[in-house]
């Protein structure tokens, strides 16, 4: 996969952006420069979120957060977020991500396509999608109430605690019009009465669940018809949501130069081939507004959320921290491969030795020492006479950063991918800044690397055509 071109008409600070990343350039490393506030981080995050999150339900929260302030302009029912061209190795696939309202969607769908459904509706398509979300939410809530009711131990719970549990349960059931019998609020409670009332409640919950499931089946049939019709027009439904002014919106993707039956498969594959690496102090626009604000008020909260969200967005990497356990796993993996080769060929492979060699070249003047029990590692300086062992925390920020990027790429087996890296030059000596582009190619040559940077050294290590600039343009270095 290769990002060929990205166009952003108007998203936050990005205005009339049109950048081409030529797929036939060698190396496939593209520094992305601008002055502070020029939109480098915004552009990388926009590309990452649209491509990485659009087909995975567990990642849709990031799209919602990113687009919460993206409102339709006056008298317009549609607004383009970005146009992204992807080179798939044979052809260019064009993706147009856009937000629209119900008016546009209903015009596109031509509501007569729904006349053959078992249950004809009069509401808008967005209302249909909202109804599905509402029904699923209610089904989930009732399932929880059903479990809570079953888990109340009538025989072995004190009367006071039993009344408290019953009250809490009925608060959750109020929106389903299931009222609390007054007989269950008076102490002492009659055991037989409680059991009888619980049986009645269980039946009422089952009736409500049956009705909701019937409604869901009807709505789901209509949803499938909507999706099918959109797909016939080469449009992929991504996500419906409410923006920050509480208006219903939907994110769609118009796909060109790809057979309609291959669109979802292509987007799924693409989502696993897009990665974003960034510093922990970055303001991630795909976090919620509340979480973003916590960076300036509750640093620990922000760090905790980074860890949580990184677990949900598998393509996100924070590269200030070296995970020693991952490095040890890399050695274990290399050792296992060598052992398998020994069984197969009678000779041990060189994966373990090559990993040691790569790391020592990476760290320039330090040797890696793996503990015999594979519980950790230390480092020694090659030129040190006393050979004092250094712990990972004794390494410099720049050394840790290079090491963590290398291990991330190798351990995750990131190959043939689009790798977006923000502020990759921070903490690196100018010599390392000059080398980092070539380092990335040496580590994994099949990837495309787009590097948001302020480093002239990094930009000068490649041809001027490789360097992409966002307005306002990089100021030229003043001659002294």
Burial class from Cβ neighbours inside 10 Å (0-12, 13-18, 19+) for residue 439 reads middle
d(CA 194, CA 216): 32
Q: pLDDT band at 115, cuts 50/70/90?
A: very low
How many separate helices (H) and strands (E) can be counted in the chain?
14, 15
Q: Residue 323: which pLDDT band, with cuts at 50, 70 and 90?
A: low
Rounded Cα distance between 31 and 458, Å, is 7
What is the pLDDT at residue 120?
A: 44
- Tell whether the model's pLDDT for residue 48 goes beyond 80: yes
Two tokens at 220? 């789901």
Judged against a pLDDT cut of 80, whether residue 11 lies above it is answered with yes
| Per-residue pLDDT, 124 | 61
pLDDT score of 264 more than 70:
yes
Rounded CA separation 276/43 (Å): 11
Give the DSSP letter of residue 57. Answer: G
Please tell me the CATH code under which domain 1-101+247-322+400-480 is placed: 3.40.50
- Per domain, the residue ranges of the chain are 1-101+247-322+400-480, 125-224, 323-394
Positive or negative, the CA dihedral 393, 397, 402, 407 is positive
Full 3-state SS string of 356-380: HHHHHHHHCCEEEEECCCCCCEEEE
116 pLDDT higher than 50: no
Q: Does residue 346 have a pLDDT over 80? A: yes
What is the mean pLDDT of the segment spanning 57-83?
A: 87
Region 198-203: mean pLDDT is 85
Q: How far is CA 401 from the centre of its chain?
A: 22
Q: What is the pLDDT of residue 474?
A: 45
Provide the terminal-to-terminal Cα distance of the chain, rounded to the nearest Å.
Answer: 43
Q: What is the DSSP letter of 267?
A: H
Distances (CA, A) of 25 to 87, 318, 436, 458: 13, 28, 17, 17
- Least confident stretch, 262-276, 278-292, 315-329, 401-415: 315-329
Between CA 67 and CA 218 the distance in angstroms is: 30
For position 121, what pLDDT does the model report? 45
pLDDT band at 72 (very low <50, low <70, confident <90, very high): confident
**Confidence band, pLDDT 50/70/90 cuts, at residue 34:** confident
Higher per-residue pLDDT: 293 or 421: 421
* Mean pLDDT (whole number) for 374-378: 74
**Rounded distance, CA 23 to CA 43, Å?**
19
Residue 73 has pLDDT above 90, yes or no: no
Q: H/E element holding 273?
A: none
pLDDT digits (tens, 9 = 90+) for 422-459: 988 888 888 888 888 898 998 899 999 999 998 889 98
User: What are φ and ψ of residue 170, in 5° steps?
Assistant: -75, -25
Mean pLDDT taken over the chain? 82
Provide the whole-model pTM: 0.75
pLDDT at 84 over 60: yes
What's the whole-number mean pLDDT along residues 165-181?
79
pLDDT at 85 over 90: yes
pLDDT(47) > 90: yes
Checking if the pLDDT of 220 tops 70, the result is yes
Is residue 319 very low, low, confident or very high in pLDDT (cuts 50, 70, 90)? confident
Task: Give the count of alpha carbons within 13 A of 23, CB side only.
Answer: 17
Spatial distance between the Cα atoms of 237 and 222, rounded to a whole number of angstroms = 14
Residue of higher predicted confidence among 324 and 122? 324
Cis peptide before 439 (omega within 30 of 0): no
Please say if the pLDDT value at position 372 is more than 80: no
For the ranges 54-63, 118-127, 248-257, the lowest mean pLDDT is seen at: 118-127
More confident residue, 479 or 126: 126
Nearest alpha carbon to residue 226 among 136, 134, 126: 126
**Arithmetic mean of pLDDT, 262-273:** 91
Lowest-pLDDT range of 9-18, 155-164, 207-216 = 155-164
The pLDDT tens digits of the residues spanning 119-153 come to 444 456 666 666 777 787 788 888 888 888 888 87
Tell me the range of 145-149, 298-302, 346-350, 436-440 where mean pLDDT is highest: 436-440
371 has a pLDDT exceeding 80: no
């Amino acid at each position: 996969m290769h990002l060929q071109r990205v166009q952003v008409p108007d998203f936050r600070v990005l205005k009339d952006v049109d950048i081409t990343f030529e797929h036939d350039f060698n190396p496939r490393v593209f520094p992305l420069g601008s002055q502070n506030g020029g939109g480098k981080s915004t552009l990388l995050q926009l590309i990452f979120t649209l491509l990485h999150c659009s087909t995975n339900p567990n990642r849709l929260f990031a799209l919602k957060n990113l687009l919460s302030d993206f409102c339709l302009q006056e008298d317009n029912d549609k607004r383009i977020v970005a146009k992204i061209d992807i080179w798939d190795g044979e052809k260019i696939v064009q993706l147009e991500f856009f937000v629209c309202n119900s008016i546009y969607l209903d015009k596109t769908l031509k509501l007569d396509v729904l006349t053959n459904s078992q249950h004809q509706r009069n509401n808008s398509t967005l209302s249909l999608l909202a109804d599905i979300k509402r029904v699923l939410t209610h089904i989930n809530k009732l399932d929880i109430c059903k479990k809570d009711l079953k888990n109340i131990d009538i025989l072995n719970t004190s009367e006071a605690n039993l009344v408290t549990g019953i009250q809490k349960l009925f608060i959750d059931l109020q929106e389903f019009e299931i009222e609390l019998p007054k007989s269950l609020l008076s102490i002492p409670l009659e055991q037989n009465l409680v059991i009888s009332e619980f049986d009645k409640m269980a039946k009422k919950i089952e009736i409500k669940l049956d009705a909701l499931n019937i409604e869901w089946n009807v709505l789901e049939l209509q949803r499938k018809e909507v999706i099918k019709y959109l797909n016939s027009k080469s449009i992929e439904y991504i996500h419906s949501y409410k923006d920050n002014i509480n208006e219903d919106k939907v994110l769609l993707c118009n796909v060109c130069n790809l057979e309609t039956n291959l669109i979802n498969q292509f987007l799924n594959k693409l989502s696993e081939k897009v990665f974003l690496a960034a510093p922990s102090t970055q303001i991630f626009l795909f976090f919620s507004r509340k979480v973003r604000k916590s960076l300036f008020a509750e640093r620990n909260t922000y760090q905790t959320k980074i860890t949580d969200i990184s677990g949900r967005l598998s393509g996100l990497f924070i590269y200030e921290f070296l995970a020693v356990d991952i490095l040890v796993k890399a050695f274990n993996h290399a050792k296992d491969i060598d052992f398998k080769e020994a069984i197969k060929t009678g000779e041990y492979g060189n994966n373990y030795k090559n990993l040691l060699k790569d790391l020592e070249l990476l760290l320039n003047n330090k040797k890696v020492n793996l503990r015999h029990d594979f519980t950790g590692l230390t480092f020694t300086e090659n030129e040190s006479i006393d050979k004092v062992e250094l712990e990972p925390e004794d390494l410099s920020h720049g050394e840790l950063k290079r090491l963590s990027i290398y291990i991330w790429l190798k351990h995750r087996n990131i190959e043939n991918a689009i790798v977006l890296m923000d502020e990759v030059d921070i903490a690196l000596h100018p010599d390392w800044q000059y080398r980092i582009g070539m380092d990335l190619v040496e580590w994994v040559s099949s990837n495309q690397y787009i590097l948001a940077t302020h480093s002239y050294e990094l930009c000068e290590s490649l041809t001027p055509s490789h360097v992409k600039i966002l307005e306002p343009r990089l100021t030229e270095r003043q001659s002294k």
